[in-house]
Structure 1
């Protein structure tokens, strides 16, 4: 039985890539009833592009195959949208309008929240051009801020697709749904990844605007530039991450790492950073990652092992939190965040199953 906080919310998802199914997954994990509309015979987006047999982004909702260029299938889609609280789509601007399914096509459902996920947004000089995560974060200033002085380093597609894209679409849609419930009036949520990433970069932009983020990439406080907020290679070849920014945590780190008071160079003097980095690297190279993990365990030294995905799922803290679970034979993240009274859960639907138009319409009370 669904118990999530979005129980009772009905959402139509037009099948798409990356941030679009991620938004739908977030909603479904929290109890919303989501019906995905996909092209007949189409596999999941990740299966088509990346070759995945099971994609966690597809979990928790049923799939209805419709050809939206067919009048009969389009009529089915319209019936569902007229009974939905919200719609999620990630097509190029204007595509839904050309199908006759744009935001203005449903005056009978004035409370409909129409969520639109694109890289560049619904307007602007680049709105009609193609792009991917790497392009959006490049133009938003994020990619140019991450990496070494020599080259930017891709932060997977976490910053663009999922951080600046899917999460912002979900937040915007929930805000609009709350407003629609209060007023009876829905609206369009224009979620551009470039907008979301720019917003995510707010603190860094603030630092830069005040001259506190002025060194080249890889030379600032939070980008690996300082020797006490970075990673070090251990004797076994693994790595350890340290981040004792505050003085009391720095003192605890030095004690556990075996440095006597005053032994290390003054970290407040930028000129000493090369020597400090060399000293820390030499010390971490003396022991394996597992040994350092035992030394720092349970302390306030802000020092943790750098884990791979399999190790992360097996870590005692993540296990105690239930951060991962097994679904459809695949270890994947559990619904997040955790709610005390109406926790999220993975629904019974799956991208591997299909429902008929009759089933979908009957479920939502349509002929």
Structure 2
């Protein structure tokens, strides 16, 4: 079966991180995503070009020299056949190439033009470089990741690049494409990682507004302040996670951990007691291995799970039962998500190498073999 986005064509200008993640999401769910790679064969950044690149899976690749007028003309011709476009350059770069919204929406008024940046297309920071750590810092998120008395800890680059960036752009693309399908016009999507990260903090803003979240680091229920919502080291140097927030789940934690008779644990929601209770749980969890705690607490309502590495996660029985990971080109990687009852996406193909599909894509938009050969000779096509 084909995914729910089957029949849509998206042109992706190659980049790194959140832009490719958005392209992967659209491709995973059935869209034909044609990535314009550099004629030189690189994709920018420090990531190696490889068929094992998860974020580049499921694409077709055409390699064009966008410093060559004929390469730009080909990109423009391709975009005229597309439903959507995604790009992740600094503001103004696409305009300088002659591939800005004015030109491309002039060619194709129903085009959805998706722009992925850290700071956004406007604002005092817009022209300058940055990375995930900077975007989530400015958005008011990074200040809340970490433990009391320690400095803020970046959550890898999942919040800005992927949650607030690529996923937000994918949502915007699908929303705008749906609007076009209902008779609307094409438009430009300005997806800034700062904006998206701020949206991801919506619940925390609500808790702060209600007076149940303090801005100090690591003193709240969900930021490792509470003893019943944290990770703990086990006897074999591994870790487990506990999230027993609700009273019935907390009661089961106490029962299975042998803490029912310890009256200190009655003070679940007294923050002044949390450090002492956390110290007790720290000592307790070190008395058994992770496997022993698994056998005791898995498949209960404690809200418990072992803390798994990527390799371990792929082998866990729950993930295997759900086929949450797939092997593509000899490499294990996450399967497309979410799931659909009717339009189940196919397993993605491995990432193409730059230019793998140049000839086929060019023929598809009307060029013949002689024209393609001339463009290769001119250096417009890699």
Identify the TM-score tier after normalising by the shorter chain: over 0.9
Cα–Cα, structure 1 residues 56 and 174, in superposed 2: closer, same or farther, change >3 Å?
same
Q: Which residue of 1 aligns with 2:28?
A: 29
Pairwise CA RMSD of aligned residues? 1.6
Change (3 A) 1:11 1:349: farther
Structure 1 CA distance for aligned equivalents of residues 366 and 257 of structure 2 = 65
Structure 1: where are the runs of 5+ without partners? Answer: none
Does structure 2 conserve the Cα–Cα contact (< 8 Å) formed by 1:62 and 1:349?
A: no
State the Cα distance separating 1:286 from its structure 2 match. 0.9
Q: Which range moves more in the overlay, 264-273 or 124-133?
A: 264-273
Number of residue pairs the alignment of both structures matches: 364
Q: How far off is 1:52 after superposition? A: 6.5
Per the alignment, residue 144 of structure 2 pairs with 145
Asked whether the 8 Å contact 1:113–1:177 carries over to 2, the reply is yes
Distance in structure 2 (CA, Å) of the matches to 1:336 and 1:56:
14
Can you give the 5+ residue segments of structure 2 that lack an aligned partner in the other structure?
Answer: 369-382
The answer for the alignment partner of 1:276 in structure 2 is: 277
Alignment correspondent of 1:75: 73
Are residue 130 (structure 1) and residue 136 (structure 2) matched? no
Judged with a 3 Å threshold, the aligned counterparts in structure 2 of structure 1 residues 298 and 348 are, in CA distance, closer, same or farther, namely closer
CA–CA distance in structure 2, aligned partners of residues 207 and 216 of structure 1: 14
Q: Any idea what the Cα deviations from partners look like across 1:280-321, whole Å, max 9, x if unmatched?
A: 112111101110000012100111111111111100001111
Maintained 8 Å contact 1:44/1:351 = no
2: CA distance, partners of 1:356 / 1:162 = 27
Structure 2 match to 1:49 = 46
Task: Tell which has more relative contact order, 1 or 2 (C-alpha 8 A, sep 6+).
Answer: 2
| 1:115 paired residue number | 114
**1:58 counterpart (44, 56, 59):** 56
Matches within 5 A, 1:170-209: 170-209=170-209
In 1, are the aligned partners of 2:85 and 2:112 still within 8 Å (CA)? yes
In structure 2, how many angstroms separate the alpha carbons of the residues matched to 1:76 and 1:282? 65
- For 1:236 and 1:268, how far apart are their aligned partners in 2? 30
Kindly state the Cα deviation for residue 185 of structure 1 after the two structures are TM-superposed: 1.0
Does residue 338 of structure 1 match 2:339? yes
| TM-score between both structures, scaled by the size of structure 1 | 0.95
Q: Note the C-alpha offset of 1:188.
A: 0.2
Report how far residue 347 of structure 1 moved: 3.8
Kindly state the Cα deviation for residue 68 of structure 1 after the two structures are TM-superposed.
Answer: 1.2
Deviation of 1:357 (Å) = 4.2
Give matches, 1:80-91, under 5 Å. Answer: 80-91=78-89
Q: Is the 8 A contact 2:38 2:354 kept in 1?
A: no
Partner-residue secondary structure (3-state), 2:161: helix
SS in 1 for 2:333: strand
Distance 1:22 1:157 in 2: 12
Aligned counterparts of 1:109 and 1:252: Cα–Cα separation in 2? 60
Shift of the alpha carbon at 1:264? Answer: 3.7
Structure 1 position 228 matched with structure 2 position 241: no
Residue 43 of structure 1 deviates from its aligned partner by 2.8
SS of 2:326's equivalent? strand
Specify whether residues 215 and 114 from structure 1 end up closer, same or farther in structure 2 by C-alpha distance, changes over 3 A only: closer
What do residues 52-110 of structure 1 show as CA deviations (whole Å, max 9, x unaligned)? 64210010011111011212111211111001000000001011011111111032311
Cα-to-partner distance string for 1:202-247 (whole Å, 9 max, x where unaligned): 1111112232111520111100001110111111111111011000
Pairing 1:353-364 to 2, within 5 Å after superposition: 354-355=355-356, 357-364=358-365
Partners of 2:367 and 2:232 lie apart in 1 by 60
Report how far residue 365 of structure 1 moved.
5.3
Superposed CA offset, 1:336-356 (max 9, x none) = 111111112344463326345
